[in-house]
Structure 1
Amino acid sequence: MWGRRSVAPPASRPRDDHHNEGQYPGPNFQLPRGLERAALATKNNNGGAQVSERAQRFLKVLVERYIRDGQPVGSRTLAKDTGLDLSPATVRNVMADLEDLGLISSPHTSAGRIPTVAGYRFFVDSLLTVRPPTDNDMAEMRCRFGQPADLPALIENTSRLLSGLTHMAGVVMVPRHERTAFRQIELLPLSGNRVLAILITSEGEVHNRIVFTERHFSPGELERSSNFLNDMFTGQDLREVRKRLVEDLRRTHEHMDKLMMRAVQLAHEVVESAEHRDDCHIAGQTNLMEFGELSSLERLKQLFDAFSQKREILHLLDRCIVADGVQIFIGEESGYGLLNDCSLVSATYRVDEHFVGVLGVIGPTRMDYPRVIPLVDVTARLLSDALRQQ
């Protein structure tokens, strides 16, 4: 059974994020060992023989050609591209062997062949030759990450960067924080019976909430309420703060006047909205319209609905955060039906040696893996650098 594979950095280049910022290993970069260059022995359902070196060469050329052109590859084209002096009968026999192994298929009776999910997986695990980012790619990445930005802007810029470099959809999970603490709250009067509640967390995140009240509160009353809340909760874990607020609201406090009770209610509303909820930023969804296999209106509608709702996308990213390095899901390996025609190449990023999020690229199964994998890997490293410097 074919499953996802993890890509860890090679032994000569441990993934510790203390590399020189913006640099890449260079032209001698090798496929990370986590991609597990499988023993070149793929068996068919009947326990068949190994994939011969000749068949591997044909498969590599076929996959690369199909990635480039998006058209089924015929025997004549394949024979020419491999550079082997073989008879048409020999070429047909090799193609038949690959088809029997489930690595290629024919979309139409008279058409050429295309890779299956199993074929892509064999290619990625065993035949892939990655291409390091070009100088122009690296210059653009350094430029994007060299600009000062707060956390939301940094996440958005990173997803746009991935989308722009790959011409597919870039996705970045908002970082998780092991512990987010209450730093400060400020309550400000607005027109009518409205109050602006501003909460600042230990991570520097600012959360705003406009709350309608039963009466108008003066600036002095709101200042006293803010001081009361800050004295109670500054430095405490946000989850504990919310728990205490809920308990306070459930109990009747004879020692707490109506103003303070209203302050607790206001704080509860803004803290509840600020509590961490997984989210991600997706950019470049419309790029997928350029790929014929994804361009039907019904298919695009389903994909855009998935991107809009994010729930399943987040669940898939959540599965990636537990492993270091690059993760690759091809077609139905994701377990998410709407992505059966797509692949995800993702990588974790970290802060202070803790994995806090995942970023990646979503595109068709015939995405340019040799180019996309190192781009995702380097982007994750640069995002880790940027977060560490914040």
Structure 2
Amino acid sequence: MIDERARSILKTLVERYIAEGSPVGSRALSRWSSLDLSPATIRNVMADLEELRLVTSPHTSAGRVPTPLGYRMFVDSLLTVKPLTQDIQAVLSQHIKQDDPNKVVSNAVDLLSSLSSFAGVITAPKKSASFRQIEFLSLSDRKVLLIIVTPDGDVQNRILITEKKYAQSELTSAANYFNQHFSGLSFREARQRLADELGRISQDISQLMQAAVNAGTESEKNAVDGVLVSGESRLLEVNDLFADMDRLKRMFGMFEQRTELLRLLESSNRAQGVQIFIGGESSLVPMEEMSVISAPYDINGEVVGTLGVIGPTRMAYERLIPIVDITAKLVSSALSDPQ
């Protein structure tokens, strides 16, 4: 805990550092803060803040810069969020509206990047776990191609290794039975219903259907939501990141691998509203110089993904937080059924 005087000085220091990018000295704080304090008094307060690891002095500079812990206190309890301008609200509303879901997602991530001048990121909505129809196609003596068509028209292929050779007429008959009785279900649901109906299906065909639901269930289990990123190259223009090639390599490695990025975004799915990840606080954001502002979005009340902005720790949080928040709300509205 720090007193109100120290909080005010820390708030001013972070705001000036975000705006100017240079270590902030006591004279600048004396000029910019609302407190009537001498530079000497401010130096004493800054020494206390440094002891608490909220600020640090880079190199031999007399000025201070915020640490990740200082940024965390700033965004959690000192930040004054600015309302969005009408121009930005109009741009977001114009480009994120009920339309093709793929356009909603891609437009949102592009807007997040252009409005922030950093990287925009979004996890695509989860694909439907159900299927509209399947087809079987004979490939060789014991290989069968399973073709799965989802309700939204996506086509997935799986190769089945069967215990016997099936004539194409048998494969067609099995597919017709499967589609007639199980269409619209997930493969997990189809597996359960198939278990109840095996007695009415010939053994050979039941084995084929069992192989199909096993393959489909495994497909559902291993499915990974897509992560769309827009504007990674904008980060090359950020001095805080560009000055160190190792930092850039780690950051772009995260973009390429996507696994850590997905884990970070999925952690936001369990929260309500905007989340801010400050660099160095956890393994989710391994770089001290990088921060992520994210928010979940939903379809008809069910959270299906996360969107956000990835940029330097020295970013305009008070401006970007409402942009991420409103974008998430607009995406939720555009993807949900009209009321």
Q: Could you tell me the TM-score, scaled by structure 1's length? A: 0.72
Do 1:197 and 1:209's aligned partners in 2 also have CA atoms closer than 8 Å? yes
Q: How does 1:1-390 map to 2 (within 5 A)?
A: 42=1, 50-53=2-5, 55-82=6-33, 86-146=37-97, 148-150=99-101, 152-176=102-126, 180=128, 182-187=130-135, 197-201=147-151, 204=152, 206-209=154-157, 223-241=172-190, 255-257=202-204, 265=211, 269=215, 272-275=218-221, 277-279=223-225, 280-295=227-242, 296-336=244-284, 338-389=286-337
Distance between the aligned counterparts of 1:304 and 1:244, measured in 2?
46
Change (3 A) 1:175 1:97: same
Give the AA of the match of 2:3: V
* TM-fit CA distance, 1:383: 1.2
Do 1:189 and 1:217's aligned partners in 2 also have CA atoms closer than 8 Å? no
Distance between the aligned counterparts of 2:258 and 2:268, measured in 1?
15
Out of 62-71 and 94-103, give the one that drifted further. 94-103
Distance between the aligned counterparts of 2:210 and 2:38, measured in 1?
82
SS in 1 for 2:100: coil
Out of 379-388 and 323-332, give the one that drifted further. 323-332
Do 1:99 and 1:105's aligned partners in 2 also have CA atoms closer than 8 Å? yes
Distance between the aligned counterparts of 2:214 and 2:28, measured in 1?
67
Q: Could you tell me the TM-score, scaled by structure 2's length? A: 0.81
Distance between the aligned counterparts of 1:51 and 1:109, measured in 2?
28
Distance between the aligned counterparts of 1:328 and 1:367, measured in 2?
12
Give the AA of the match of 1:93: N
Structure 2: stretches of 5+ with no match in the other structure: none
SS in 2 for 1:299: helix
Distance between the aligned counterparts of 2:8 and 2:78, measured in 1?
8
* TM-fit CA distance, 1:374: 0.8
Structure 1: stretches of 5+ with no match in the other structure: 1-41, 43-49
Change (3 A) 1:194 1:381: same
* TM-fit CA distance, 1:378: 0.8
Change (3 A) 1:111 1:222: farther
SS in 2 for 1:339: coil
Do 1:159 and 1:170's aligned partners in 2 also have CA atoms closer than 8 Å? yes
SS in 2 for 1:163: helix
| Matched-pair identity in % | 41
Distance between the aligned counterparts of 1:240 and 1:367, measured in 2?
47
Q: CA RMSD in A?
A: 3.5
Change (3 A) 1:172 1:274: same
Give the AA of the match of 2:283: G
* TM-fit CA distance, 1:232: 3.8
Distance between the aligned counterparts of 1:311 and 1:183, measured in 2?
26
Out of 343-352 and 78-87, give the one that drifted further. 78-87
Do 1:324 and 1:347's aligned partners in 2 also have CA atoms closer than 8 Å? yes
**Higher share in helix:** 2
Distance between the aligned counterparts of 1:190 and 1:273, measured in 2?
20
Change (3 A) 1:217 1:256: same
Distance between the aligned counterparts of 1:170 and 1:121, measured in 2?
21
Residue 35 of structure 1 corresponds to: none
Distance between the aligned counterparts of 1:241 and 1:196, measured in 2?
15
Number of residues of Structure 1 aligned to a counterpart in Structure 2: 330
Distance between the aligned counterparts of 2:317 and 2:153, measured in 1?
36
Out of 366-375 and 271-280, give the one that drifted further. 271-280
Give the AA of the match of 2:189: E
* TM-fit CA distance, 1:191: 11
Distance between the aligned counterparts of 1:369 and 1:196, measured in 2?
49
Distance between the aligned counterparts of 2:117 and 2:153, measured in 1?
31
Distance between the aligned counterparts of 2:134 and 2:56, measured in 1?
63
